[in-house]
């Protein structure tokens, strides 16, 4: 079916975050890097949305744009980011700052990014509740409860420690506890498990899932680990060279990928390779340079299904089923054949 509507139906869920036609460039001495191109993405309330894609596809740029934490050379050239119906890109800076740490929290790949190395966990966890009513001792009790729920052993003692007293996995637990302490409506997590070993990654994913359900927040979860996305997420957006090429429910995308890039990404996933092999498969070819304007489909130089039209026209979104959309001319061809 041709995707003519602005967005696919999302099983009647209320949308917490609606990103529409977002374009972002980075100014560099070599020219403008088009890091986000016409990105549209929905995050329904209470759901976990994964963002996957190869390195350099724009996952972190998208996450940081939502958070309003972009470097100085970034320039949002068009589009909107509606959070609870308000456009974050048009919001005055003080209003946006008060939203951060109150309605929206973030966890990073490196927990030290979020933690102050010279202050105890207690003082940082009390300060982060500055919007909340209550005495210091009530806030400390709240922090202790959260540390306990995040699986920190002996929280009564550990709350007085400094970040460097914790191991990497425990530090990430502290960051999750801190980020969720204010019960945000949205948690943005950029590769929160990438620096951890496989066992710790599983533990952190389970913890995130448990706390997300308990708090009822939405999560935007950036990861290159498809297994973690399958485990944690309700929906997934696949990014390639600054574009969201496919998005929809995790189950549909992982079982019935419609975009050739999604299929290639899944075929190269170490978790899905059945036969033992010495070398992991990779997608042939290279990610195109993001400098300058592009003609045709962004994936055409690496796509085994490319045909003439792919060189000239950038595909629009086509709907597959109820909630899944993908940008590929083959879907238009199939529509014409079945019509």
Minimum CB distance to ligand SF4, residue 240 (Å) = 9
CA distance 294 to 329: 16
Which partner from the list Mg ion, ligand SF4, ligand ATP, none does 260 bind, CB cut-off 5 to 8 Å by kind? ligand SF4
> Which CA distances in Å does 101 have to 25, 35, 129, 132, 257?
26, 26, 9, 11, 36
Q: Is there binding between residue 139 and ligand SF4 (CB under 6 A)?
A: no
Q: Give whichever of 51 and 328 is closer to ligand SF4, judged by the CB atom.
A: 328
Q: Among 58-66, 207-215, 229-237, 325-333, which window interacts with ligand SF4 (CB under 6 A)?
A: 325-333
Strand, helix or coil at 87? strand
Nearest Cα residue to 262 out of 279, 244, 274, 278: 244
Quick one: residue 53, left, alpha or beta (phi over 0 = left, psi -120 to 50 = alpha)? left
DSSP H or E run through 245: strand 243-249
Site string for ligand SF4, 288-317 (x = CB under 6 A): ---------x-xx--x-xx---x----x--
Backbone angles phi, psi at 331, to 5 degrees: -65, -30
Residues found near ligand ATP in the complex (CB under 6 A): 26, 28, 33, 35, 53, 55-61, 71, 73, 224, 290
Minimum CB distance to ligand SF4, residue 305 (Å) = 4
Site string for ligand SF4, 259-278 (x = CB under 6 A): xx------------------
Backbone angles phi, psi at 137, to 5 degrees: -70, -30
Which partner from the list ligand SF4, Mg ion, ligand ATP, none does 33 bind, CB cut-off 5 to 8 Å by kind? ligand ATP
CA distance 318 to 331: 7
When binding is defined by CB under 5 A, the residue of 13, 23, 38, 60 that contacts Mg ion is: 60
Q: Give the DSSP per-residue string, 95-125.
A: HHHHHBTTTEEEE-SSGGGTS-TTS-HHHHH
Q: Which parts of this chain interact with Mg ion (CB under 5 A)?
A: 60
Q: Which parts of this chain interact with ligand SF4 (CB under 6 A)?
A: 259-260, 297, 299-300, 303, 305-306, 310, 315, 328-330
């Amino acid at each position: 079916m041709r995707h003519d509507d602005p967005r696919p139906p999302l099983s009647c869920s209320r949308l917490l975050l609606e990103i529409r036609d977002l374009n972002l460039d980075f100014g560099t001495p070599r020219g403008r890097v088009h890091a986000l191109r016409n990105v549209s993405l929905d995050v329904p309330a209470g759901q976990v949305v994964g963002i996957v894609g190869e390195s350099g596809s724009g996952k972190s740029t998208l996450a940081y744009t939502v958070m309003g934490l972009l470097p100085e050379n970034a320039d949002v050239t068009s589009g909107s980011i509606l959070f609870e119906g308000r456009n974050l890109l048009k919001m005055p800076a003080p209003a946006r700052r008060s939203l951060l740490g109150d309605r929206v929290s973030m966890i990073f790949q490196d927990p030290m990014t979020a933690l102050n190395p010279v202050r105890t966990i207690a003082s940082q966890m009390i300060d982060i509740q500055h919007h909340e009513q209550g005495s210091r001792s009530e806030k400390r009790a709240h922090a202790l409860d959260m540390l306990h729920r995040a699986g920190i052993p002996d929280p009564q003692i550990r709350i007085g420690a400094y970040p460097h007293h914790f191991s990497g996995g425990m530090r990430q637990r502290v960051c999750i506890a801190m980020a969720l302490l204010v019960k945000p409506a949205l948690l943005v997590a950029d590769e929160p498990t990438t620096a951890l070993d496989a066992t710790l990654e599983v533990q952190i994913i389970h913890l995130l899932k448990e706390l997300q359900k308990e708090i009822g927040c939405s999560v935007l979860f950036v990861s290159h680990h498809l297994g973690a996305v399958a485990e944690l997420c309700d929906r997934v957006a696949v990014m390639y060279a600054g574009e969201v090429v496919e998005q929809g429910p995790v189950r549909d995308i992982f079982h019935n990928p419609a975009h050739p890039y999604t299929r290639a990404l899944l075929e190269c996933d170490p978790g899905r390779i059945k036969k033992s092999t010495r070398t992991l498969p990779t997608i042939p070819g290279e990610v195109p340079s993001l400098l300058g304007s592009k003609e045709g489909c962004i994936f055409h130089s690496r796509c085994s299904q490319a045909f003439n039209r792919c060189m000239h026209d950038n595909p629009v979104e086509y709907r597959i089923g109820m909630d899944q959309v993908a940008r590929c001319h083959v879907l238009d061809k199939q529509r014409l054949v079945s019509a």
